[in-house]
């Protein structure tokens, strides 16, 4: 029998117990959870992201940007940073209560030989290889995966398909992992999510669905595929655009479909997540000297 699949996961209440907050020596919000230290780093471009450090014993107030590495996603502000810290603390707390066993076992996976395995439970094993990894389910476990998400093979890769395993066997995962899995299902397989859940995803709730709507809405529009600050026109960004943003195979025929435009740099900086759409009433096609080396090499606009 297929287990009931619950996709509506309520975010847990933030728990800051066991978390130490402070401000670093160079003004960054920082937090310590056991041996893990997190920081809200602001890039030169002005956006903030989450960075981490492990086994740094010095007081938080003495730390600097040089102590941190990695890029664990953007954060909008300090409130979101604190929320991410709470999620991480909750994840570590939940993880300690699970009976995962790390081991080595001889196994051939779709991504190569297994180098390390984590046994989540009988019939649920995550394998890591030199280049990739994923879950292997037993036949009995796989039979319990929802039919709309179940694969014909017993392997579920680690980038997106891991989420299928997580929502199929929620007791083997932390609250944070289950929340991430539900989001991954919505973003990757929105049509399946809607069929299982019995309702439609609104705009902003699924990357894949929003991308599909964007592509349909702008199927006849020029969409920017590359951009560079114009060294000939201060304050402007020179862009290359193609109808529907489809560059084709990159051959001469594809070049013939490309057009150049000048767009105010501050306007281009506010582009949406799926690209910048050319407005022919405001963005005139550009035929002047190009800042793109590729265009110069074609002998166009040099």
Residue pair 72/52 in contact (Cβ under 8 Å)? The answer is: yes
What pLDDT is attached to residue 16?
61
Q: Is the pLDDT of residue 13 over 80?
A: no
pLDDT digits (tens, 9 = 90+) for 258-272: 899 999 999 999 999
Distance, in Å, from the CA atom of 108 to the CA atom of 112, rounded to the nearest integer, reads 6
Domain spans of the chain, in order of start = 19-97, 101-197, 219-301
What pLDDT is attached to residue 72?
84
Alpha carbon separation from 150 to 170, 197, 209 (Å, rounded)? 16, 16, 21
Average pLDDT on 175-200 reads: 94
User: For the whole model, what pTM was predicted?
Assistant: 0.75
What pLDDT is attached to residue 70?
80
Q: Mean pLDDT score of the chain, rounded to an integer? A: 88
Distance, in Å, from the CA atom of 168 to the CA atom of 192, rounded to the nearest integer, reads 14
Q: Is the pLDDT of residue 237 over 90?
A: yes
Q: Is the pLDDT of residue 4 over 60?
A: no
**78-97 vs 175-188: helix axis angle to the nearest 10?**
110
pLDDT band at 64 (very low <50, low <70, confident <90, very high): very high
What pLDDT is attached to residue 154?
97
């Amino acid at each position: 029998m297929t287990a009931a699949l619950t996709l509506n996961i309520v975010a847990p209440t933030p728990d800051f117990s066991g978390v130490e907050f402070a401000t670093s020596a160079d003004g960054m919000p920082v937090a310590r959870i056991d041996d893990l230290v997190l920081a809200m780093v602001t890039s030169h471009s002005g956006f903030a992201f989450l960075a981490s450090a492990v086994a740094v014993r010095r007081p938080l107030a003495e730390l600097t940007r040089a102590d941190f590495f990695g890029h664990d996603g953007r954060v909008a502000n300090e409130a979101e940073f604190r929320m991410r810290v709470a999620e991480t603390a909750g994840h570590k707390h939940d993880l300690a209560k699970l009976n995962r066993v790390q081991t080595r076992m001889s196994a051939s996976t779709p991504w190569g030989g297994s180098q390390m395995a984590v046994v989540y439970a009988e019939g649920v094993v995550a394998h890591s290889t030199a280049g990739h990894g994923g879950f292997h389910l037993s036949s009995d476990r796989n039979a319990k995966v929802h039919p709309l998400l179940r694969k014909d093979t017993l392997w579920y890769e680690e980038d997106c398909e891991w989420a299928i395993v997580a929502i199929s066997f929620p007791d083997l995962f932390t609250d944070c992992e289950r929340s991430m899995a539900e989001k991954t299902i919505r973003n990757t397989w929105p049509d399946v999510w809607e069929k299982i859940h019995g309702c439609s995803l609104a705009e902003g709730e699924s990357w894949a669905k929003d991308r599909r709507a964007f592509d349909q809405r702008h199927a006849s529009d020029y969409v920017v595929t590359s951009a560079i600050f114009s060294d000939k026109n201060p304050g402007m960004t020179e862009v290359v655009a193609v109808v529907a943003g489809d560059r084709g195979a990159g051959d001469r025929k594809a070049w013939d479909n490309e057009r150049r435009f000048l767009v105010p740099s501050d306007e281009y900086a506010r582009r949406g997540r799926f690209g910048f759409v050319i407005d022919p009433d405001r963005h005139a096609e550009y035929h002047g000297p190009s800042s793109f080396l590729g265009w110069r090499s074609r002998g166009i606009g040099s």
